Amino acid sequence: MASVSLVPAALLCSCGRDKVSLSEDERTYTLSNSMITAVVAKESGDLVSVKYQGKEMLAVRMDREGRPDLELDPPGANPNGLNKGMTDHQYGFWSHDAMGPRGTRDAIASITIDPSKTAGRRAEVSVKGISEGRKMGTGPGASQDGQFAADIEIRYALEAGSPKIYTYCVFTHPESYPASAIGEARFCAKLAPMFDWMSVDKDVDFYYPADHFAGDKYVYTAVQSENPAFGWSSTFEGIGCFLLNPSMEYMSGGPTKVEFLGHRDTNKAAAPCILNYWRSSHYGGAEVSVEQGEFWQKVIGPFVLYFNSGSDHEHLYADARAQVEKERRLWPYSLVDTPAYAGKNERSRVSGRIALDDELASCGDMTVGLVDPEAFWQRDAKHYQFWTKADRNGEFVLDNVIPGTYTMVSFADGVLGEFRAENVRVEGKKVNLGTMAWKPVRKGRQIFEIGIANRNGSEFALGTEFRDPEIVLNYAKLYPQDVDFTIGESDFSNDWPYLHVPHNESDDVQVLPFFGIRADGRETPYRINFDVSPDDLSEAASDKAVLRLALCGTAAQSLEISVNGQHAGSLPLTQTRDGVITRHGSHGIWHEEEFAFDASLLSEGRNNLVINMPAGSLNSGILYDYLRLEL
């Protein structure tokens, strides 16, 4: 695979004076152009210093000689208030570095793009750690002996006249390595104290100085796919530092994944952080599990650390969002020269049309993806995923798909369930799948529906207030008699809360950052009143009615269902404990539950159905996406 210019040479190097230089000493590489000087540690692959326009961007700790201190901190240390679980690193780093636990073996450092051979247009360095009987990784969940048995190669690239640093990491698990699994895995940049404005999405864009006590950092999470540019700016220096994801193919959990993008920890001395999680335990988490005898390889990135300057934070953030769109058009990067990364000529364009066949469904925004056939895509970090939006006719184009065999998945606002097409083979430059009919599953005649099937509860009452740590307590105050909802009269945007939790009855319950509410509440019934016509009953194809619940967050074991005053049974929940209530998320793992009951419990005229949340922890409960009763 040839190594060629990432962007046209005329854009890379506007004049002969602006070139990339690369120097090294025993412990570091230094990459520099007219805008940026970046220092990379050869032992670990950490980015230990970045100067933009002469100013240090990272939370650098200096040694006695005024150089970045490269020594790791002892286990359990917490220097400068840095985050627990990250204490072996400063600066910018991959949680699974090339060093392994406590520097047990030297990494292999090399120059992969020599600027003297590119006329100064670009430079790249590599730091590679070979596992061979030891485990790699120092992130949360990793022991002092490491975590994941894989070779890890970290690379950084810089180009002439560019305020961008490209970084990526190649994970390789040869067949000879033991079975292993990754815990939390991400790139983190700890920034200089001057950064005091955090911008991670349209609702989390605010002044965040060191003396601002955030309380619970989980109120600042966001949907990764909707926010490919995020970071911090300095209100007094007029400088921004943003992370740009030009593709989401290497991330986990698909287009609905909620994650940390940035925060300061609860310690006021903690550095501002940018976080690019490609595998986490948050909101249902994701999985990378590799068996002994299995070859596995994945390239995370390249993504971009982008630095800019301007008059205010608003323009800096807007510029970063504009820049990531430019980066997307360059994907896949021709800069990358490793067999593990599929270049432009190796990828395919996949097109087709998904035609919805359901006269009762009002199809809105449709999302289409190609995912691994064996994986649960919402929790998959092991494989690449490819997603796009279809147009109003259901036509879609997926560019730059790596050849392979996939399952096609689609979901749409207003439609319950998923479309799936198995054994989709992608090979060649263009693959047209034609028109595929999507006939959503229906269990019978629709009696009622509540909400909009859209994989979150934003349309329900309180649905826009999910970041409020006291939302569970507020529910009890706003709905002291719980929910009594009448089909055709009540409005789900006011009368049906997006969450269903035990009902608090205590006056002295407090919310604890990271832990939610450590107290119990009474059972909470949600009552639905609805009419059943003679035609509904006479046209029923069987003697069963089916309550279908689409849930977008779960921290309960079961629900109790009653119909017209008679207990109809318990509904065990198949997905549990995604932490979405405790961690104040808008949604976690989406899934559908079905509860079938004897239709003889229904009668002509007015009926009622009660969904009861059992008494228990106020951290337990569910988030609603959509409800439907079919007969």
Q: Six-digit token pair at 178?
A: 């033991």
Among the ranges given (87-101, 352-366, 564-578), the one the predictor scored with the smallest mean pLDDT: 87-101
Is 244 found in the same domain as 166?
Answer: yes
Asked if 313 and 199 count as a contact pair (C-beta separation under 8 A), the reply is yes
pLDDT for 2 beyond 70: no
Q: From CA 14, how far away is CA 23, in angstroms rounded?
A: 22
pLDDT confidence band for 64 (50 / 70 / 90):
low
pLDDT at 82: 33
Task: Give tens-digit pLDDT for 90-115.
Answer: 689 999 999 866 656 689 999 999 99
What integer best gives the mean pLDDT of the chain?
Answer: 90
Q: Six-digit token pair at 125?
A: 């360095």
Q: From CA 198, how far away is CA 241, in angstroms rounded?
A: 10
Identify whether 3 is part of a domain: no
Nearest residue to 430 via CA among 541, 349, 490, 484: 349
| Among candidate residues 329, 361, 387, the one where a domain is terminated | 329
Identify whether 338 is part of a domain: no
Q: Whole-angstrom distance between the N-terminal and C-terminal Cα of the chain?
A: 59
Task: Give tens-digit pLDDT for 194-215.
Answer: 999 999 999 999 999 988 877 7
Is 53 found in the same domain as 140?
Answer: yes
CA-derived radius of gyration, the chain: 26
pLDDT at 223: 96
Identify whether 342 is part of a domain: no
Asked if 581 and 553 count as a contact pair (C-beta separation under 8 A), the reply is yes
For tokens 């025993």, name the residue. 26
Non-local CB neighbours of 302 within 8 Å, separated by 6+ positions: 155, 157, 166, 167, 168, 246, 333, 335, 336
pLDDT at 328: 98
pLDDT confidence band for 256 (50 / 70 / 90):
very high
DSSP letters, 501-533, are -PBP--SS---BTTTB--SEEB-EEEEEEEEE-
Non-local CB neighbours of 627 within 8 Å, separated by 6+ positions: 448, 449, 450, 451, 528, 547, 548, 549, 550
| Among candidate residues 380, 412, 438, the one where a domain is terminated | 438
Is 501 found in the same domain as 368?
Answer: no
Q: Helix-strand-coil percent breakdown of the chain, rounded to 5?
A: 10, 40, 50
Q: How far is residue 57 from each of residues 28, 52, 54, 454, 540, measured CA to CA in Å? A: 18, 7, 9, 40, 67
| Polymer length in residues for the chain | 631
Non-local CB neighbours of 221 within 8 Å, separated by 6+ positions: 258, 259, 260, 261, 282, 283, 583, 584, 585
Identify whether 336 is part of a domain: no
Q: Six-digit token pair at 183?
A: 């815990």
pLDDT confidence band for 582 (50 / 70 / 90):
very high
pLDDT for 8 beyond 60: no
pLDDT for 398 beyond 70: yes
pLDDT at 91: 86
Nearest residue to 354 via CA among 301, 415, 288: 415
Is 558 found in the same domain as 453?
Answer: yes
Is 201 found in the same domain as 85?
Answer: yes
Q: What is the CATH number of the domain that holds 532?
A: 2.60.120.260
Nearest residue to 68 via CA among 49, 44, 93, 94: 49
The burial of 627, by beta-carbon neighbours within 10 Å (0-12 exposed, 13-18 middle, 19 or more buried), is given as: buried
What residue numbers bound the domain in which 166 lies?
A: 9-329
Residue 360 dihedral angles phi and psi, to the nearest 5°: -90, -15
The helix or strand, by DSSP H or E, that contains position 536, with its residue range, turns out to be: helix 534-538
Task: Give tens-digit pLDDT for 408-431.
Answer: 999 999 999 999 999 999 998 999
In this prediction, residues 589-609 reach a mean pLDDT of 96
Q: What is the CATH number of the domain that holds 106?
A: 2.70.98.10
Total-model pTM:
0.92
pLDDT for 9 beyond 60: no
Burial 6-42 (b: 16+ CB within 10 A, else e): bbeeeebbeeeebbbebeeeeebbbbbbebbbbbbbb
Q: From CA 393, how far away is CA 232, in angstroms rounded?
A: 39
Provide the greatest CA pair distance for the chain: 87
Q: What percent of the chain has pLDDT over 70?
A: 90
Identify whether 2 is part of a domain: no
Is 403 found in the same domain as 511?
Answer: no
Is 493 found in the same domain as 418?
Answer: no
Asked if 220 and 262 count as a contact pair (C-beta separation under 8 A), the reply is yes
Task: Give tens-digit pLDDT for 446-496.
Answer: 999 999 999 999 999 999 999 999 999 999 999 999 999 999 999 999 999
| Among candidate residues 329, 359, 391, the one where a domain is terminated | 329
Is 458 found in the same domain as 541?
Answer: yes
Is 247 found in the same domain as 111?
Answer: yes
Neighbours of 116 (CB within 10 A): 12
Q: Domain count for the chain, please give it.
A: 3
pLDDT at 12: 37
Bridge pairing between strands 180-181 and 164-173: unpaired
Is 396 found in the same domain as 285?
Answer: no
Is 463 found in the same domain as 434?
Answer: no
Identify whether 337 is part of a domain: no
Dihedral of CA 583/186/408/230: which sign?
positive
Q: Which of 59-63, 219-223, 584-588, 611-615 is the most confident on average?
A: 611-615
Is 421 found in the same domain as 309?
Answer: no
Identify whether 266 is part of a domain: yes
Identify whether 339 is part of a domain: no
Q: From CA 438, how far away is CA 441, in angstroms rounded?
A: 9
Prior bond of 302 cis (ω within 30°): yes
pLDDT for 140 beyond 70: no
